[in-house]
């Protein structure tokens, strides 16, 4: 199961001196141990990491060759001790601009929790899932899938609203609409269709209101949460969300309010209808059904309120913004934090990923790139939205972060 990235002599690093070191990354004692040779390229723009399926002999790394963290403005530790402490369930949501490393950071956090004794669930609400790629394991299918490797149970769930919507649309065209019910039942959302049937969901789908994809996603997420509240799933003490890029995430976060308001209106309408027709309906014996439907709708509303409360609960939930040191990404992070504040979502940490270590050679490109990154990092200090957040820096490594050993390696750098 250990991955092998042996072709490491990439041409981009040919000019780097042979400063090789070996950092042992220990896994479970019953799993194959790996060596993690790390060599630094000459200009040192990246850490070089490989994961070889060989047994560990724990040599103390030579001091001068140890992995160094990147010196940069106001760098801080992530406070992992606090994150890991306690057995009460905690939720972590990682979000930011596309491609900055949200999935890698979320997956590495989930692995670290699991390796520190927390049965953990990692959930992706990003329609373009990369959890499977990140764990190098097929996690598709919209079900809880066990991730192999960590010490404690780690499960992954990829929620796919795009696919769900497409299937929903197809289903709605079949059997004069009864397919919708079947499909929604399959999704565990039968109740939603039952209750919102009068609102003509088919029409809603043709002109979907903003956030419909997320509605499906969050409905499913809330169903997962319902599961998790049951005894059987109470083992999960840490739940990590790998969220979609910024725009989607904000819609997702504001959705409970939107649904709450909508459902509130529906309930009022139902009550009016019910009182206007109750005499007639009771004669025909339908009053009970209507009341039952209203109760179910009320339960759905309550669940939505619960999801919203969860997002805003500073004791159990934290949103971590992930960014990279570019002006564009940092500007977007600033806007994201402003929006999260408006939604009262607690944010304490900002991860700046893919930071180049200082260049020690005459590589002009590396020096320029690093300078550019430092300028972007400086922006954080002066940004009213970001300057108060705990700044965590993660170096750019010269290999893709894939598979549990790689994620463990990244986790040890980021989550300290």
Ligand X SMILES: Nc1ncnc2c1ncn2[C@@H]1O[C@H](COP(=O)(O)OP(=O)(O)OP(=O)(O)O)[C@@H](O)[C@H]1O
| Pairing outcome for strands 90-96 and 47-49 | unpaired
What is the distance between the alpha carbons of residues 349 and 367, in angstroms, rounded to a whole number? Answer: 28
Angle between helices 327-342 and 364-382 in degrees, nearest 10: 20
Q: Which range touches ligand X (CB under 6 A), out of 10-18, 70-78, 92-100, 217-225?
A: 92-100
Q: Which range touches ligand X (CB under 6 A), out of 56-64, 157-165, 285-293, 394-402?
A: 394-402
Q: Which range touches ligand X (CB under 6 A), out of 15-23, 147-155, 185-193, 395-403?
A: 395-403
| Site membership for ligand X, residue 353 (CB under 6 A) | yes
Contact between residue 386 and residue 330 where contact means Cβ atoms under 8 Å apart: yes
What is the distance between the alpha carbons of residues 341 and 347, in angstroms, rounded to a whole number? Answer: 8
| Site membership for ligand X, residue 103 (CB under 6 A) | yes
Region 115-154 residues binding ligand X, contact defined as CB under 6 A: 126, 128, 130
- Kindly give the residue spans of alpha helices, DSSP state H, lying in 285-387: 287-312, 327-342, 364-382
| Site membership for ligand X, residue 102 (CB under 6 A) | yes
Measure the CA dihedral 109/350/395/405, to 10°.
0
Nearer to ligand X, 259 or 401 (CB): 401
* Shortest separation between residue 382's beta carbon and ligand X, angstroms: 24
- In the residue annotation, 126 being an active-site residue is answered as yes
Residue among 34, 45, 72, 101 that touches ligand X (CB under 6 A):
101
Q: Which range touches ligand X (CB under 6 A), out of 25-33, 223-231, 292-300, 389-397?
A: 389-397
Nearer to ligand X, 50 or 130 (CB): 130
Nearer to ligand X, 376 or 396 (CB): 396
What is the distance between the alpha carbons of residues 63 and 35, in angstroms, rounded to a whole number? Answer: 17
Phi, psi (rounded to 5 degrees) for 240 = -110, 125
How many other CB atoms are there within 10 angstroms of residue 22's CB atom?
Answer: 17
Contact between residue 125 and residue 251 where contact means Cβ atoms under 8 Å apart: no
Size of the site for ligand X (CB under 6 A): 18
The DSSP output letter for 52 is B
| Site membership for ligand X, residue 100 (CB under 6 A) | yes
Question: Catalytic residue positions?
Answer: 126
Residues that bind ligand X (CB under 6 A): 98-104, 126, 128, 130, 245, 353-354, 394, 396-397, 400-401
């Amino acid at each position: 199961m250990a991955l092998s990235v042996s072709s490491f002599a990439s041409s981009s690093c040919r000019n780097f001196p042979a400063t090789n070191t070996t950092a042992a990354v220990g896994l479970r004692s019953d799993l194959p141990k790996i060596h993690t040779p790390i060599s630094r390229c000459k200009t040192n723009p990246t850490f070089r990491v490989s994961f070889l399926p060989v047994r560990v002999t724990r040599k103390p790394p030579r001091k001068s060759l140890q992995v160094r963290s990147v010196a940069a403005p106001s760098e801080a530790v992530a406070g992992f001790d606090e994150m890991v402490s306690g057995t009460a369930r905690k939720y972590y949501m990682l979000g930011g601009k596309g491609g900055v490393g949200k999935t890698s950071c979320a997956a590495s956090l989930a692995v670290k929790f699991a390796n520190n004794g927390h049965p953990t669930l990692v959930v992706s609400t990003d329609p373009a899932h990369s959890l499977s790629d990140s764990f190098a394991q097929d996690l598709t299918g919209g079900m809880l899938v066990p991730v192999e490797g960590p010490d404690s149970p780690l499960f992954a769930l990829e929620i796919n609203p795009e696919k769900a919507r497409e299937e929903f649309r197809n289903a709605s065209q079949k059997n004069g609409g009864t397919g919708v019910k079947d499909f929604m039942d399959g999704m565990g959302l039968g109740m939603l269709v039952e209750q919102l049937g009068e609102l003509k969901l088919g029409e809603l789908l043709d002109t979907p209101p903003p956030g419909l994809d997320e509605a499906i996603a969050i409905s499913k997420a809330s169903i997962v949460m319902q599961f998790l509240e049951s005894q059987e799933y109470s083992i999960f003490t840490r739940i990590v969300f790998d969220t979609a890029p910024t725009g989607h995430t904000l819609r997702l976060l504001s959705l409970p309010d939107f649904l709450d308001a909508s459902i509130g209106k529906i309930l009022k309408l139902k009550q009016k209808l019910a009182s206007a027709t109750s005499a007639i309906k009771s004669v025909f014996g339908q009053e009970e059904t209507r009341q039952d439907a209203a109760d179910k709708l009320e339960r759905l509303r309550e669940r939505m309120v619960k999801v919203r409360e969860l997002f805003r609960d500073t004791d159990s939930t934290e949103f971590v913004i992930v960014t990279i040191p570019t002006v564009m990404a940092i500007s977007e992070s600033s806007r994201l934090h402003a929006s999260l504040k408006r939604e009262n979502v607690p944010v304490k940490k900002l991860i700046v990923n893919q930071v180049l270590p200082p260049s020690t050679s005459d590589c002009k490109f590396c020096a320029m790139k690093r300078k550019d990154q430092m300028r972007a990092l400086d922006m954080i200090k002066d940004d009213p939205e970001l300057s108060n957040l705990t700044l965590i820096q993660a170096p750019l490594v010269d290999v893709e972060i894939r598979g549990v050993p790689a994620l463990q390696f990244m986790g040890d750098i980021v989550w300290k």
